């Protein structure tokens, strides 16, 4: 059975189960609204362009923060992989900070930057930087010694060795780092926007929650999940698979 058919059947069954729970009245509809109510809220949000502006606003914050986090993370990863002292000191701190949930940074961002776009972008940068740094570090450290020995035998050294052998060999890990940075940054963005003044999906989610509009809350959660899944599978997963195949790491 094709995977697309399996997914359609799965989601249809999930929606039927959801509707069944609502019809049985296990929870009041104010807490768990039905699928039709959620669809109506999503339609209304796109009809009056509110959700369109929210999606555009969220992607604006995401793109700026993600680009900056990839640059900082890449440079940090190179530093950790090439300087032992930095790896033993800064590296341990990055490992610790990587385990800190993104929402923990939101109060600090608000204190430093106020309720501005800068605070949102800051949290997004934090969300993607550390995971990119660690993947870049692993990629450089895992370059096969055979490649290095062969290159040195042919007279390659210093910057020539680094840019022609080490960096190309570490690209698969770097691409995986980009994919993970996107996922972490997307989650960090939602956490930051929930305490922002909009526009953004996280802000509208928080607004809907404050007014107990659970249909819109669930609708935005679905939109966030769909966008995350679509971008990951149609963009980053395809790029990662192509790179892994080209580097002979996947059949």
pLDDT(96) > 60:
yes
Q: Check residue 158 and give left, alpha or beta (phi > 0: left; psi -120 to 50: alpha).
A: left
221-250 pLDDT per residue, tens: 999 999 998 998 888 888 888 887 877 666
Distance between start and end Cα atoms, the chain: 22
Q: Check residue 123 and give its pLDDT.
A: 93
Q: Check residue 251 and give its pLDDT.
A: 57
Q: Which of 19-33, 35-49, 116-130, 150-164 has the lowest mean pLDDT?
A: 150-164
Comparing 159 with 213, the larger pLDDT belongs to 213
CATH superfamily, with its number, for domain 34-246? MetI-like (1.10.3720.10)
Q: Check residue 214 and give its pLDDT.
A: 92
Range 32-40 average pLDDT = 91
What rounded mean pLDDT belongs to the chain?
87
Domain ranges in the chain are 1-32, 34-246
pLDDT(65) > 90:
yes
204-215 pLDDT per residue, tens: 998 898 888 999
pLDDT(147) > 60:
yes
- Rounded Cα distance between 106 and 7, Å, is 36
Q: How far are the Cα atoms of 84, 225, 244, 249 from residue 139, in angstroms, in the given order?
A: 15, 29, 13, 13
Q: Which of 120-124, 197-201, 216-220 has the lowest mean pLDDT?
A: 197-201
- Rounded Cα distance between 138 and 247, Å, is 16
pLDDT(173) > 60:
yes
């Amino acid at each position: 059975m094709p995977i697309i058919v399996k997914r359609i059947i799965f989601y249809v069954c999930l929606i039927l189960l959801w509707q069944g729970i609502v019809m049985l009245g296990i929870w009041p509809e104010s807490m768990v609204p039905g699928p039709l109510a959620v669809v109506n809220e999503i339609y209304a949000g796109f009809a009056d362009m509110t959700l369109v502006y929210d999606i555009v606003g969220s992607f604006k914050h995401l793109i700026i923060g993600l680009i900056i986090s990839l640059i900082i993370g890449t440079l940090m990863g190179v530093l950790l992989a090439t300087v032992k002292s930095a790896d033993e000191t800064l590296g341990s701190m990055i490992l610790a900070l990587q385990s800190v949930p993104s929402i923990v940074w939101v109060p600090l961002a608000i204190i430093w930057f106020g309720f501005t776009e800068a605070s949102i972008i800051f949290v997004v940068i934090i969300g993607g930087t550390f995971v990119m740094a660690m993947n870049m570090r692993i990629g450089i450290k895992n370059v096969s010694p055979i490649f290095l020995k062969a290159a040195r035998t042919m007279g390659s050294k210093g910057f020539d060795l680094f840019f022609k052998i080490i960096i190309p060999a570490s690209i698969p890990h770097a691409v995986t780092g980009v994919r993970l940075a996107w996922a972490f940054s997307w989650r960090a963005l939602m956490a930051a926007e929930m305490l922002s003044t909009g526009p953004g999906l996280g802000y509208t989610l928080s607004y809907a929650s404050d007014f107990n509009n659970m249909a819109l809350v669930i609708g935005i959660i679905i939109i966030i999940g769909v966008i995350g899944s679509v971008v990951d599978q149609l963009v980053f997963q395809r790029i990662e698979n192509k790179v892994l195949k080209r580097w002979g790491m996947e059949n």
